[in-house]
Amino acid sequence: MARLAALAALVLTMAQAPAPKPAADVELWRLDCGGVQVNDLNAFSDTLAYSGQSKRLVASCYLIRHGSDYMLWDTGLPEAVIGQPVSNTDAMSPILTTTIKRQLAQIGVKPEQIGRVGISHYHFDHTGQAAGFPGATLLIGKGDADALSAGKPGTSAEPLKPWFGGGAKIEAIDADKDVFGDGSVTLLNLPGHTPGHHALLVVLKGKGPVLLSGDLAHFRENYDTNGVPPFNTDRAATLASLDRFKKLAGNVKATVILQHEPGDVAKLPAFPASAR
C-alpha cells in the first residue's frame, strides 16, 4: 500500500511539473578573430610529432543568437595585433585584420546587445577582445577563474579586467552549463588544456548539433592522434576530455569544429551568412 501511495505521489508530481520549454530559434555565425602562423608545429606536441613542420591556423570565435539574446563564444586576438608584421621565425606569430565589433555592425548587432561572453579558456587568443563587452555576463570555467584570480604563472587577467577587478558580472562554471535552460547551447566541462577549459555544443534546428572545440585540439592531425601540447596543464585530463568529446560527437552526430583548423571552420557559412 505504501508503495502504491509513493507511486501515486510521483505521478502527481510529474503531472504538475512544467512542460519543457521549446527550443528558441538559434542562429550561429562564425567570426574572423584572427590567425596564427605557427613556424614550429612541435609547439603543439609533447611527443615531437611535427618536427620541421609549420602551419597557418585561424583564431575563430562565434556569435550565437538565441531568440532575442546574443552570446559570444571566445573573443579572439586583441585589437592591438592589427597591423603587426607576420614573423617567419617566431614559434608562433599572431595575425589580425578586423575586429568583432566591426563584424557585428555588418549584421546590425550593437555591442550592448551581447548579454553573455563565453570563454573556452584564459589564453590570450581567446580573450583578446572580451573587454569590449563589459555589460555582458562572463561565462568561464571555475578552474580558469581561480587561476586568474590567483595570478598563476602563464595567466593574465588583463584582457578580462571588467570582470576581474572591474565589478562586471561573472559566472564561474565547474561542470557543464545549459546556458538558456532548453538544451540548445551547452558549455561542456573538458579540462586539461587549462584547469577550467570548456567546449560548446550548439543545437541548430536545420544543421543539427555543432561542437565548438575551444582548444581541446588545435588541428585535425592533432585531434585524430590525441596529440597533447606541452603547455597543457594536465595531460591525463586532456586525454579524458578528448575521449568524452569524440564519443559525444559520435553519439549526437555533431558537426565538429576545431576552432583553430581552417578546414573545420569552413564547415560553417562564411560571414555574414549564418548557420541555423
Q: In what order do the strands lie in the sheet with 55-58?
A: 55-58, 35-38, 92-95
User: Does 73 map to a domain?
Assistant: yes
Task: Give the separation between CA 253 and CA 248, rounded to whole angstroms.
Answer: 8
3-state helix/strand/coil string of the chain: CHHHHHHHHHHHHHHHCCCCCCCCCEEEEEECCCEEEECCHHHHCCCCCCCCCCEEEECCEEEEEECCEEEEECCCCCHHHCCCCCCCCCCEEEECCCCHHHHHHHCCCCHHHEEEEECCCCCHHHHCCHHHCCCCEEEEEHHHHHHHHHCCCCCCCHHHCCCCCCCCCEEEECCCEECCCCCCEEEEECCCCCCCCEEEEEEECCCEEEEECCCCCCCHHHHHCCCCCCCCCCHHHHHHHHHHHHHHHHHHCCEEECCCCHHHHCCCCCCCCCEC
Q: Please report whether residue 5 resides in a domain.
A: no
Query: Would residue 149 count as lying in a domain?
Result: yes
The answer to whether residue 17 is domain-embedded is no
CATH of the domain at 53: 3.60.15.10
Specify the pLDDT at position 24. Answer: 79
Would you state the pLDDT for residue 23?
60
Q: Phi first, then psi: what are they for 118, rounded to 5°?
A: -95, 130
In a domain, 276, yes or no: no
- Domain of residue 248 covers 26-265
Per-residue pLDDT tens, the chain, 276 aa: give them: 443 343 333 333 333 444 344 467 999 999 999 999 999 999 999 999 999 999 999 999 999 999 999 999 999 999 999 999 999 899 999 999 999 999 999 999 999 999 999 999 999 999 999 999 999 999 999 999 999 999 999 999 999 999 999 999 999 999 999 999 999 999 999 999 999 999 999 999 999 999 999 999 999 999 999 999 999 999 999 999 999 999 999 999 999 999 999 999 999 999 999 999
Number of structural domains, the chain?
1
Classify residue 3: in a domain, yes or no: no
185 and 201 in contact (C-beta within 8 Å)?
yes
Which grid cell is 237?
585530463
Buried b (16+ CB within 10 A) or exposed e, 158-167: ebbebbbeee
Residue 233 covered by a domain: yes
pLDDT of residue 210: 98
Please report where in the chains the cell 552549463 appears, as a residue: 177
